[in-house]
Amino acid sequence: MLNIMIKIPEYIQNLTPYKPGNKLKQGKIKKTITEFINLASNENPLGASPKAIEALKETTKYLSVYPDVGATELISHLSEMLDKPEQKIIAGSGSDAIIGDIIKAFSDYGDDVLTAEETFIGYFVNVLKLGRKLIKAPMKNHQYDLDSLLNSITPKTRIIFLSNPNNPTGSMFFKKEFDEFLNKVPKDILIVYDEAYSIYAALHDGYPDGLYYEQDNLIVIRTFSKSHGLAGIRIGFAFGPQKLISTLYKVKLPFEPNSIAQRVALAALTDFDFIFQTIKLNTISLERMVNLFDELKLNYIKPYANFVMLIFDNEEKAKNFVDDCYESNILVRHLSPFGVPNGVRISTGTHTQMDYAIDVFRKLLRKK
């Protein structure tokens, strides 16, 4: 019998599989995920929009039919809503898929891809699994330091990823500094501006809304996972210069996003009341958490999305808090994989969830 050894590239061997924030601790408490209040994953606590759910019921008739390759109806609606030509928009199976396609399309094996130290882990994974070199610039007080990013550019830098507001820290950089940054980045480097939390951030003065930027080396990414409550069907979109978007179509999988995702996302875009209720609930929930943390004189980063990052004195205290919350049937996210070992990210919930969580947090954090 032949002993065939399959070669696995070293950069693949060095990867660590992604660990979700809502993962149960096997062997510790034998419960189902539904028995927990999940404040670990930045999901919409209201679920999905009623219009999206109704659209989902109608999609069964399309299960045997290949999806529309160009997501024609969805992109047509996005074009009208965003006031962008259809040729400048692309849809994909979530932000992660689009991020991966951007790296494939605009960099080569061994090229440098630049981002920050404490930012979205999806950048790290996609860069490393595609054999690019990941460069992480230092942050300042858990916020993007755009000057540090500029100083970290190398002759081999091809792409810069920015998350604003930043996941997992919740911090935000503002229009004036972003404008200065855009002017200073060499025009042969692609800037990817990730606005996963744009609907929440838009409430704040000075937020640099990607809609209003037209630049030859800028692509803006958005997602339906957060404010639209569609994390389970994986759909996102990007807009930018026509030449760059047409290049992305060359590398994306031909039948993504799937037909269900396309139709449900289209319905979600028309449910303005659901978005209003989502923003209203998030604002109240953030205020309740911030008020508690101020009352207890705790260290946290001012939030601009749908979560707050608590900062503990050390990693042990952060892990203990996560474990104590788990024992109380609350899931929160320890941020060691993101590069913040002493940080814990807490997402917003419903009023009932927050009533319980605030009570638990007060009891646990008074001991810290």
Identify whether the C-beta of residue 97 lies closer than 8 Å to the C-beta of residue 254.
no
Q: Which amino acid is at 137?
A: A
Q: How far apart are CA 362 and CA 321, in angstroms?
A: 12
- In this structure, is the dihedral angle defined by the CA atoms of residues 299, 361, 117 and 96, taken in order, positive or negative? negative
Q: What is the dihedral of CA 104, 110, 116, 120, to 10 degrees?
A: 40
- pTM of the predicted structure, to 2 decimals: 0.92
- At 3 the pLDDT is 61
Q: Which domains does the chain have, with CATH numbers?
A: 18-47+273-365 (3.90.1150.10), 50-269 (3.40.640.10)
Q: How far apart are CA 173 and CA 186, in angstroms?
A: 20
Helices (H), 94-169: 94-106, 121-129, 146-151
- At 27 the pLDDT is 44
- At 12 the pLDDT is 76
- At 7 the pLDDT is 78
Identify whether the C-beta of residue 171 lies closer than 8 Å to the C-beta of residue 304.
yes
pLDDT (tens place) for every residue of the chain, 368 residues total:
556 677 777 777 777 776 665 555 554 555 565 689 999 999 999 999 999 999 999 988 888 889 999 999 999 999 999 999 999 999 999 999 999 999 999 999 999 999 999 999 999 999 999 999 999 999 999 999 999 999 999 999 999 999 999 999 999 999 999 999 999 999 999 999 999 999 999 999 999 999 999 999 999 999 999 999 999 999 999 999 999 999 999 999 989 999 999 999 999 999 999 999 999 999 999 999 999 999 999 999 999 999 999 999 999 999 999 999 999 999 999 999 899 999 999 999 999 999 999 999 999 998 65
Q: Burial, 263: exposed, middle or buried (Cβ in 10 Å; 0-12, 13-18, 19+)?
A: buried
Q: How far apart are CA 178 and CA 203, in angstroms?
A: 18
- At 8 the pLDDT is 74
